[in-house]
């Protein structure tokens, strides 16, 4: 098991999972361009270590977690499923009855104790170099400016340490940090996050909040900082449990917090709850720019680091990217814990196109009527799963890894009148489709088989006919149609449409309803520029752009889905975000020197 990032880099290199880029590269857009191509290559490509970064003496590591093999190496030869099973066994222990069972539980308790972090007092690697006050200069770090319309450089893989005023709890979270100047950063924590909850304690008390940030930790602790633990649960303990040995920690040099002794960099300072500053926009993991908003300011008073530190970072954007694999790890590790609360769940899957909060497919062992609805509402009341926009429930024997057969099973099963459950609730702060931030429509889909005690479905096949010619004669806003699953009870019709000039989609729906163009199926409206040939892109667009209550309507046997951009006409008063895309000039520059970097096979990948 790797004690630090340097050992992890060596492990990746021994296993042919790392490429050293010895050509000079620019942290402004160029490293992002190269990393995105690598992350979108088959299987997630390789980790990248950029050894000559313009404007900095430090190397940059990207895409370190971006494949299942690298996750396996990061977790010390354990799969995420194996870790999840170990965690469930720890939590499933029943009270001991016999003397032997009591002895076994005592031994187990002693074993758990070994996961508690170990405090060090002597000089440690993360404090080999100490820079204070006027010596602090964040511009010495090779912090990436990732996307053309980002507000500036952002630290994207930080472990943020904060301490509660009301308990001994120290939280370790991962919240992006925008560089404002040489010694201040914007602290972007969402309203639902633990860091924001702790910040509110200091805000109410009117006290300065001490903060420490670690960059480049051992891979397990880095993962633990992203995990959806309940408030009060310890990320250090989770990391120790996965590692099977404790994390070494040391007192920070200038704040009353413990930090990882083996980290590459530590930033120490404070936040004044009375101070905020405009942070963003930022090209986020949703594939869209999140808008600018006011967030707390982190004043960096001290920077400590290793002598030859590596700056670890990640690039996020439209999936698939490196964060998809971290999300996959969480999906698998926490499945057994969710099964403790909802034991009928056999498996679940978060398609990457749903960016881990727009869609989850859940397979259950169904034994009674309405059980699918019970599972939906159970998940909507459970931690970060409560932010999920769409939950689709299928039967336990369904193969969740075969996307085509999964879609066929769902479209062959559901009754549009009986199997769709609409509700409202909290959403992820990055959801851009709802009329209001953090709250909007949700959809549950019951695609389980009917029991004998439930009324049968009324699904019947309806002949699919060509419809674009008829529609184009009536209204030229219909530009292209693609029909999917035409042999199933519910065919899917994807329309590229031109909005504007008063031709909003409620009028387009009337054309279908009045003329009976389509007798049965699911009709999806997409913007004119959308490429109907890219299935992954389509699913990402549809899931990201809809509020189920506002944008989905049923008329007879036709379900209409408006996945276009929204305006004030739709009751949408926010600014619709732009899609994240690289700079064409930088793309051409990178394309020209891929061979020099020894990665010519990335040519054309991710380039639009």
For the chain, which residues make up each domain, given as ranges?
1-77+114-318+589-608, 342-446, 468-570
Percent of the chain with pLDDT over 90: 76
Question: What band does 372 get if pLDDT is binned at 50, 70 and 90?
Answer: very high
Res 119: pLDDT: 84
Contact yes or no for 600/37 (Cβ under 8 A): no
Residue 100: phi, psi to the nearest 5?
-65, -45
Question: What band does 465 get if pLDDT is binned at 50, 70 and 90?
Answer: low
Using the predicted structure, report yes or no on whether residue 503 has a pLDDT greater than 60: no
Q: Which residue has the tokens 């008073």?
A: 301
Question: What band does 504 get if pLDDT is binned at 50, 70 and 90?
Answer: low
* d(C-alpha 449, C-alpha 3), whole Å: 49
| CATH class of segment(s) 468-570 | alpha beta
**Catalytic residue status for 347:** no
Contact yes or no for 291/282 (Cβ under 8 A): no
Q: List the one residue out of 21, 608, 13, 585 whose CA is nearest residue 317.
A: 608
* d(C-alpha 430, C-alpha 428), whole Å: 5
Res 475: pLDDT: 58
Fold matches, 342-446 and 468-570:
yes
Question: What band does 502 get if pLDDT is binned at 50, 70 and 90?
Answer: very low
Contact yes or no for 253/130 (Cβ under 8 A): yes
Give the pLDDT confidence of 10-24 residue by residue, as tens digits: 999 999 999 999 999
Question: What band does 110 get if pLDDT is binned at 50, 70 and 90?
Answer: low
Res 571: pLDDT: 82
Angle at 281 between CA 541 and CA 197, to 5 degrees: 95
Contact yes or no for 50/57 (Cβ under 8 A): no
Using the predicted structure, report yes or no on whether residue 447 has a pLDDT greater than 50: yes
Res 99: pLDDT: 57
Please state the length of the chain: 608
Res 123: pLDDT: 80
- At the topology level of CATH, where does 1-77+114-318+589-608 sit? Pnp Oxidase; Chain A (2.30.110)
Mean pLDDT confidence for 293-301: 98
Q: Please, where are the H alpha helices in 230-360?
A: 235-243, 322-341
| Residue 42 C-beta-side C-alpha neighbours within 13 Å | 1
Catalytic residue (one of 284, 428, 547, 562):
284
Residue 154 is given by DSSP the state: E
Residue 183 is given by DSSP the state: T
- Copy the structure tokens of residue 260: 């990882």
* d(C-alpha 212, C-alpha 592), whole Å: 40
* d(C-alpha 357, C-alpha 348), whole Å: 13
Give the pLDDT confidence of 191-208 residue by residue, as tens digits: 989 999 999 999 999 999
Question: What band does 95 get if pLDDT is binned at 50, 70 and 90?
Answer: low
Q: Please, where are the H alpha helices in 312-430?
A: 322-341, 371-379, 403-413
Residue 94 is given by DSSP the state: P
Q: Classify residue 468 by burial, with Cβ atoms within 10 Å: 0-12, 13-18, 19+.
A: middle
* d(C-alpha 417, C-alpha 74), whole Å: 47
* d(C-alpha 151, C-alpha 282), whole Å: 6
| 3-state SS, one letter per residue, for 546-602 | CCHHHHEEEECCEEEEECCCCCHHHCCCCCCCCECCCCHHHHHHHHHCCCCCCCHHH
Cα first-last separation, the chain: 40
- At the topology level of CATH, where does 342-446 sit? UbiD C-terminal domain-like (3.40.1670)
- Copy the structure tokens of residue 465: 């006919």
Mean pLDDT confidence for 485-503: 81
Using the predicted structure, report yes or no on whether residue 532 has a pLDDT greater than 90: yes
Mean pLDDT confidence for 86-114: 65
- Copy the structure tokens of residue 552: 């989905």
> Mean pLDDT in the chain?
91
Question: What band does 474 get if pLDDT is binned at 50, 70 and 90?
Answer: low
* d(C-alpha 379, C-alpha 385), whole Å: 6
Residue 164 is given by DSSP the state: -
Res 501: pLDDT: 47
What 3-state DSSP class applies to 60?
strand
Using the predicted structure, report yes or no on whether residue 166 has a pLDDT greater than 60: yes
Give the pLDDT confidence of 551-574 residue by residue, as tens digits: 999 988 889 999 999 988 778 889
Using the predicted structure, report yes or no on whether residue 607 has a pLDDT greater than 70: no
Q: Torsion angle, CA of 230/234/240/242, rounded to 10 degrees?
A: 10
């Amino acid at each position: 098991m790797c004690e630090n990032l340097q050992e992890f880099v060596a492990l990746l290199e021994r296993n042919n999972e790392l490429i050293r880029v010895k050509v000079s590269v620019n942290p402004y857009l160029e490293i992002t361009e190269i990393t995105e191509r690598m992350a979108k290559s088959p299987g997630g490509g390789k980790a990248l270590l950029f050894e000559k970064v313009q404007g900095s003496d430090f190397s940059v590591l990207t895409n370190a977690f971006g494949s299942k093999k690298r996750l396996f190496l990061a977790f010390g030869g354990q799969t995420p499923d194996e870790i999840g099973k170990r965690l469930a066994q720890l939590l499933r222990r029943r009270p001991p009855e016999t003397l032997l069972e009591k002895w076994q539980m005592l031994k187990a308790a002693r074993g758990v104790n070994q996961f508690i972090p170990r405090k060090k007092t002597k000089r440690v690697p993360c404090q080999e170099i100490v820079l204070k006050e006027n010596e602090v200069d964040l511009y010495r770090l090779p912090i990436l400016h990732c996307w053309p319309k980002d507000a500036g450089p952002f630290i994207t893989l930080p472990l943020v340490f904060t301490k509660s005023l009301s308990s001994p709890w120290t939280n370790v979270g991962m919240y992006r940090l925008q560089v404002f100047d040489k010694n201040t950063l914007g602290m972007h924590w969402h309203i639902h996050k633990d860091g924001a909850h702790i910040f509110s304690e200091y805000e109410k008390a009117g006290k300065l909040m001490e903060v420490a940030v670690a960059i480049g930790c051992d891979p397990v602790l880095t993962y633990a900082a992203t995990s959806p633990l309940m408030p009060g649960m310890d990320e250090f303990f989770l990391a120790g449990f996965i590692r099977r040995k404790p994390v070494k920690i040391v007192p920070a040099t200038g704040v009353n917090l413990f930090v990882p002794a083996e980290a590459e960099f530590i930033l120490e300072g404070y936040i004044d709850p009375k101070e905020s500053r405009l942070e963003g926009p930022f090209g986020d993991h949703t594939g869209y720019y999140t808008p600018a908003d006011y967030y707390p300011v982190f004043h960096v008073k001290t920077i400590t680091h290793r002598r030859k530190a590596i700056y670890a970072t990640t690039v996020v954007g439209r999936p698939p990217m490196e964060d998809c694999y971290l999300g996959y790890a969480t999906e698998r590790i926490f499945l057994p814990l969710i099964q403790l609360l909802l034991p009928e769940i056999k498996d679940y899957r978060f398609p990457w196109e749903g960016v881990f909060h727009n869609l989850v497919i859940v397979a259950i062992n169904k034994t009674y009527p309405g059980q699918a609805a019970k599972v939906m509402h159970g998940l909507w009341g459970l931690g970060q799963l409560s932010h999920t926009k769409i939950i689709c429930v299928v039967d336990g024997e369904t193969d969740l890894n075969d996307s085509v057969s999964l879609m066929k099973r769902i479209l062959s099963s559901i009754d549009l009148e009986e199997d769709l459950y609409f509700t409202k609730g909290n959403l992820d702060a990055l959801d851009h489709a709802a009329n209001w931030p953090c709250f909007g429509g949700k959809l549950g889909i019951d695609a389980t088989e009917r029991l004998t005690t439930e009324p049968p479905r009324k699904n019947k096949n309806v002949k699919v006919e060509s419809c674009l010619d008829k529609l184009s004669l009536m209204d030229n806003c219909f530009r292209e149609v693609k029909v999917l699953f035409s042999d199933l009870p519910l065919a899917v019709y994807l329309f590229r449409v031109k909005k504007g000039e008063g031709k909003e989609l409620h009028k387009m729906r009337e054309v279908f309803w009045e003329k009976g163009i389509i007798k049965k199926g699911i009709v999806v409206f997409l913007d004119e520029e959308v490429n109907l040939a890219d299935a992954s892109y389509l699913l990402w667009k549809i899931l990201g752009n809809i509020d189920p209550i506002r944008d989905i309507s049923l008329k007879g046997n036709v379900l209409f889905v408006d996945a276009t951009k929204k305006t004030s006409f739709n009751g949408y008063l926010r600014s619709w975000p732009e899609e994240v895309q690289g700079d064409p000039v930088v793309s051409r520059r990178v394309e020209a020197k891929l061979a020099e970097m020894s990665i010519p096979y990335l040519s054309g990948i991710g380039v639009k």
